Structure 1
Amino acid sequence: MEDIFVGGGGPEYGDAQELLLKAANRHGLIAGATGTGKTVTLQILSESFSAQGVPVFLADVKGDLSGLARAGSPDFKLHGAFTSRAEKIGFADRYGYDAFPVTFWDLFGEQGHPVRTTLTEMGPLLLSRLLGLTDAQEGVLNIAFRVADEQGMPLLDLKDLQALLVWIGENADALSLRYGNVSTRSVGAIQRDLLVLENEGGQKLFGEPALELTDIMRVDPDGRGRINILDAGTLMSSPKLYATFLLWLLSELFEELPEVGDPDKPRLIFFFDEAHLLFEDAPKALVNKVEQVARLIRSKGVGVYFVTQNPDDIPEDILGQLGNRVQHALRAFTARDQKALSRAAETYRPNPRFDTEDAIRDVGTGEAVTSFLGPKGAPGIVERTLIRPPSSQLGPITESERRAVIQASPIAGKYEAVVDRESAFEVLKRRADTAAREAEEAERREAEAEAAEAERRRSRRYDAPQVGRSSSRGSSSRSRENESLAGAVTEMLVKELKGSTGRRIVRGVLGGLFKGR
């Protein structure tokens, strides 16, 4: 087992920089302006972790990282520059071209295996964040999840939640007595937000079969960890969906994996690209959850590396937990940029040979300012570093090559077909159908009773004795008037119950009676 060689460069750059495998679960940061080399750093770290038997999960925003599945080539135009850099940084004896085991994933099922979760697994907090709900609306959503749990109605996909919200709206008064105010206005607002999410393709995220965590933690028979690449090109058009999905996955790892203490190497490395999307307009409760996960998940053998343009995008409490750092160039054209640059420089242990702030501003493409944890867990002094060249192809593979990788995957065919088992939608539909049948049966029995009563009255009129008829004419007239009024009210109620309004009333009342079924 070897530590991960990141780069070096000779006297003007300092000693070779290595990321200690034992400290790799202490999290990290890859930052820098667009075009300064973050993607290549992501690529070489993924290669190195895979080679050491550590599975990797990362999002491919631009499509460039698919090249990890194919070996680089001496015919590549930068081959000479790569070999020259490998010699300069003392990496020539270990450098060569190689492909790595890759599994492609895609929420939309187009550029990789479909990846899904269920609404129950995501939970109301993350779903509220995804939908951008107010506190009142989030409260109603929490009630919906509670009702689903208590009444044994699994929430698997969007139609389950939509059907449950309709039922909650119909029974709002009864539910408010037990759970607190259930506003039909809030129910309607959540339904509208769910419709927007559905139109953005979010319905493909929710359903079964749901992702099994073991499938992103696979190690191939040759001992190399699989690199899981989530295609995020289309997903980035819905940035909240992207950020919420990755945070859900991180939370699932935190909840499901057992404690392993301080392992010799991580069980999984998780790269969170475009990390600023996670924290933009995020409520305090969500930021606290991310901080908690980042602080505790390392004891489960998972290292989290945030990838962003500016370290200032990461909340300070979380930034302080990122021990391994690769800082590419930051541009300081405005006063705000200059303040961000100064704050970034202050987070490094200074090197007496150069000014850290100047180095962060001046490093070129493929260079970085780096600092990694030492054997005792203390951060090393900052160094200027030439990043080593990648062994896999720089840039994307072809569509046919991607398809070949997907078809040869060890999980090919496992997630492609959607499974729609009985859940909240089916349970509520069955209840509604049962209530409708019972209402129709009640209507039929009522109609038969009315017909029998009418027939009985007609028979009584013809069979009644004529004695005393004139003396009782007034009372008989009043009786007929009362019967006529009662018959009119009954007829109106029967018509109402036969109509859609009546059925809604019956379903609304009976809905509470199905609780024990």
Structure 2
Amino acid sequence: MSKKENFIQLINEGYLSKGESIILGGAILDGEALPDTFVKIPLKTLNRHGLIAGATGTGKTKTIQVLSEQLSSFGIPVLMMDIKGDFSGVAKEGEEKDFIKERHAKLNIPYSVSSFPVELMTLSKQEGVRLRSTVSEFGPVLFSRILDLNDTQTGVVSVIFKYCDDNKMPLLDLKDIKKVLNYTTDEGKDEIEESYGKISTSTTGTILRKIIELEQQGGDLFFGELSFEIDDLLRIDENGKGYINIIRLTDIQDKPKLFSTFMLSLLAEIYQQMPEKGDADQPELVIFIDEAHLIFNEASKALLEQIETIVKLIRSKGIGVYFITQNPMDIPSGVLAQLGLKIQHALRAFTANDRQAIKQSADNYPTSEYYKTDEVLTSLGIGEALVTALNEKGIPTPLVATMMRSPMSRMDVLTDSEIQEINSKSKLVKKYDEVIDRESAYEILTKKIESSQEQAVVVEETKQVSTEPSTASVVTKSVLKVVTSATFIRGAFGILSKLFKK
């Protein structure tokens, strides 16, 4: 057989899927798209996580759109963390333009337009389903790791949580934990020392500064009630399509701590609440994390270890996590090793450092006798990518240059009026719009401190009353003085009268 025939056979056998699968596109060899040579990803391996990488403008967003559309079509919900704000068009039908017809004709893949059910979510003041979590739900370990605390400081946070649990004081928002921290080294110092040991004011001061830093990045909006319920990410619409939940993060690009805080808490919450699924035929939920380097650049070593651990374990719950970034080297090696699907769009080599990075990136992909990987990485066109995945047996598929199919939905953002229309019809917007500020640690301690102060005033007044002479005692003393004086005068006059009589 010819080189081309061998290649076609390799791809068709390597990407053969007996069960349901997503079709990404068709294979490319020597710059030519080969019809009926489909690059397919089995649904049952989509919980093995993945990477979508490539330079700006190479087609990453459209690839995510294609994946999300097909997942939704199979009734699989999607969570998309949209940093740039260019993903919302999935809610509206696309338009069959000439270049799309031409592309799909080359691939021999039918094309149709479609829209998909969408929920728009927010961590900030943007319109949409408001996402919140309580401090208590984080727990002392995760909360400490987010603040990048050392062991001593983490121990203090654990004491704070224990004290609040023992005294039935909910930690709901950041003002709650700030209040408790101040209380432990001020009004409640003796109480805390007696039951939990001495807490250094310098330690609590450091923790407070870290909390204020998180607060300034928008943490005060994120921590509180009503807490978001994970089940609301798993909805299916009346047509059997999974909801595509888009978290709009365009206004927190300069707040990486808030972004990483939310992402890690969400993954931890999903892992804790979702039941074990084992080797299921399809995932329960697929999560796309855009601009993933924002997480890893700011993450402490402890936070990286936590992310790596969760990524390893969460797939058993039927959850797939996909990281989107410009260069594979943005992802720590421990996380990168857990990713089964890799979709690599073009990289650009403008400097010697760029060329070195491309060589390193090429080493992350299987070797192929049909491609020089480092050369292909710089020559891929828009909407083309190198792909390797896992087949149904969990074996890596051959590396293949792929012409990606086009999205069925709009390849552009929604207008403000269209966003308002989606939010106005959303049941979740109404559910999570109300801010609940029930009695928690802040209010309980404030009342306790005020009560203690009032008691102190009463005690002080009582002391003053007991030391100052009363009106009755003053009168009594005056009378006694008068009586004493009269008795003295009477006695004196008695003596004088006796002398004169003599």
TM norm. shorter chain > 0.5: yes
The alignment status of 1:146 with 2:162, answered yes or no, reads yes
Structure 2 residue aligned with 1:19, among 41, 49, 61? 41
Shift in Å, 1:179 = 4.4
The alignment status of 1:117 with 2:147, answered yes or no, reads no
Shift in Å, 1:283 = 2.8
Partner SS for 1:322: coil
Give the aligned partner of residue 268 of structure 2. 251
CA contact (8 A) 1:54 1:225 kept: yes
Matches within 5 A, 1:417-436: 417-436=434-453
1:145–1:110 Cα change, 3 Å: same
The alignment status of 1:379 with 2:400, answered yes or no, reads no
The alignment status of 1:2 with 2:20, answered yes or no, reads yes
Structure 1 window deviating more from structure 2 (458-467 vs 442-451): it is 458-467
The alignment status of 1:59 with 2:84, answered yes or no, reads no
Structure 2 residue aligned with 1:157, among 167, 173, 180? 173
Structure 2 residue aligned with 1:188, among 192, 205, 211? 205
Structure with max Cα Rg: 2
Q: Work out the CA distance in 2 between the residues paired with 1:446 and 1:180.
A: 32
Q: Work out the CA distance in 2 between the residues paired with 1:329 and 1:181.
A: 57
CA contact (8 A) 1:173 1:182 kept: no
Give the aligned partner of residue 440 of structure 1. 457
Q: Work out the CA distance in 1 between the residues paired with 2:425 and 2:156.
A: 45
Give every structure 1 segment of 4 or more consecutive aligned residues whose post-TM-superposition deviation is greater than 6 Å: 464-467
Q: Work out the CA distance in 2 between the residues paired with 1:367 and 1:112.
A: 33
Shift in Å, 1:463 = 3.2
Matches within 5 A, 1:454-469: 456=473, 459=476, 463=480
1:443–1:243 Cα change, 3 Å: same
Q: Work out the CA distance in 2 between the residues paired with 1:289 and 1:70.
A: 37
Provide Cα deviations, 1:414-473, integer angstroms capped at 9, x if missing partner: 011101111101111121222123223323333332345785477457538969xxxxxx
2:242 alignment partner AA:
G
Q: Work out the CA distance in 2 between the residues paired with 1:50 and 1:137.
A: 44
Q: Work out the CA distance in 1 between the residues paired with 2:310 and 2:197.
A: 31
The alignment status of 1:82 with 2:100, answered yes or no, reads yes
Partner SS for 1:200: helix
Provide Cα deviations, 1:17-54, integer angstroms capped at 9, x if missing partner: 11110111011111111221111111111111111100
CA contact (8 A) 2:362 2:374 kept: yes
Q: Work out the CA distance in 2 between the residues paired with 1:139 and 1:330.
A: 45
Provide Cα deviations, 1:243-272, integer angstroms capped at 9, x if missing partner: 211111011101111101111110000111
Shift in Å, 1:212 = 0.4
Partner SS for 1:370: strand
Shift in Å, 1:150 = 2.1
Give the aligned partner of residue 10 of structure 2. none
Structure 2 residue aligned with 1:278, among 274, 290, 295? 295
CA contact (8 A) 1:129 1:282 kept: no
Shift in Å, 1:365 = 1.5
CA contact (8 A) 2:218 2:258 kept: no
Give the aligned partner of residue 105 of structure 1. 121
Structure 1 residue aligned with 2:231, among 214, 226, 230? 214
Give the aligned partner of residue 166 of structure 1. 182
Q: Work out the CA distance in 2 between the residues paired with 1:215 and 1:97.
A: 27
Q: Work out the CA distance in 2 between the residues paired with 1:295 and 1:367.
A: 29
Partner SS for 2:65: helix
Partner SS for 2:464: helix
Q: Work out the CA distance in 2 between the residues paired with 1:450 and 1:384.
A: 94
Report the TM-score when normalising by structure 2: 0.86
1:402 alignment partner AA:
I
Shift in Å, 1:281 = 4.5
Q: Work out the CA distance in 1 between the residues paired with 2:363 and 2:431.
A: 48
Q: Work out the CA distance in 1 between the residues paired with 2:28 and 2:182.
A: 68
Partner SS for 1:103: strand
Give the aligned partner of residue 72 of structure 1. 94
Provide Cα deviations, 1:308-349, integer angstroms capped at 9, x if missing partner: 111112121211110011011122334433333223222222
1:207 alignment partner AA:
G
Q: Work out the CA distance in 1 between the residues paired with 2:326 and 2:59.
A: 11
Q: Work out the CA distance in 1 between the residues paired with 2:423 and 2:227.
A: 18
Q: Work out the CA distance in 1 between the residues paired with 2:332 and 2:218.
A: 30
Q: Work out the CA distance in 1 between the residues paired with 2:197 and 2:286.
A: 43
Q: Work out the CA distance in 1 between the residues paired with 2:183 and 2:373.
A: 60
The alignment status of 1:29 with 2:51, answered yes or no, reads yes
Partner SS for 1:353: coil
Partner SS for 1:201: helix
Shift in Å, 1:145 = 2.0
Q: Work out the CA distance in 1 between the residues paired with 2:307 and 2:28.
A: 39
Gaps of 5+ in 1: 468-517
Give the aligned partner of residue 245 of structure 2. 228
Provide Cα deviations, 1:274-325, integer angstroms capped at 9, x if missing partner: 2122222433322222111111111101001111111112121211110011
Partner SS for 2:426: coil
Shift in Å, 1:191 = 2.6
Give the aligned partner of residue 405 of structure 2. 388
Shift in Å, 1:175 = 3.4
The alignment status of 1:311 with 2:328, answered yes or no, reads yes
1:152–1:54 Cα change, 3 Å: same
Q: Give the share of equivalent positions with the same residue, in percent.
A: 41
1:98–1:267 Cα change, 3 Å: same
Shift in Å, 1:57 = 0.4
Report the TM-score when normalising by structure 1: 0.84
Matches within 5 A, 1:324-335: 324-335=341-352
Q: Work out the CA distance in 2 between the residues paired with 1:205 and 1:62.
A: 20
Q: Work out the CA distance in 2 between the residues paired with 1:346 and 1:458.
A: 102
Partner SS for 1:237: coil
Gaps of 5+ in 2: 1-18, 486-502
Structure 1 window deviating more from structure 2 (354-363 vs 447-456): it is 447-456
- Aligned-residue RMSD, C-alpha: 2.4
Q: Work out the CA distance in 2 between the residues paired with 1:446 and 1:177.
A: 27
1:454–1:138 Cα change, 3 Å: farther
Shift in Å, 1:141 = 2.6
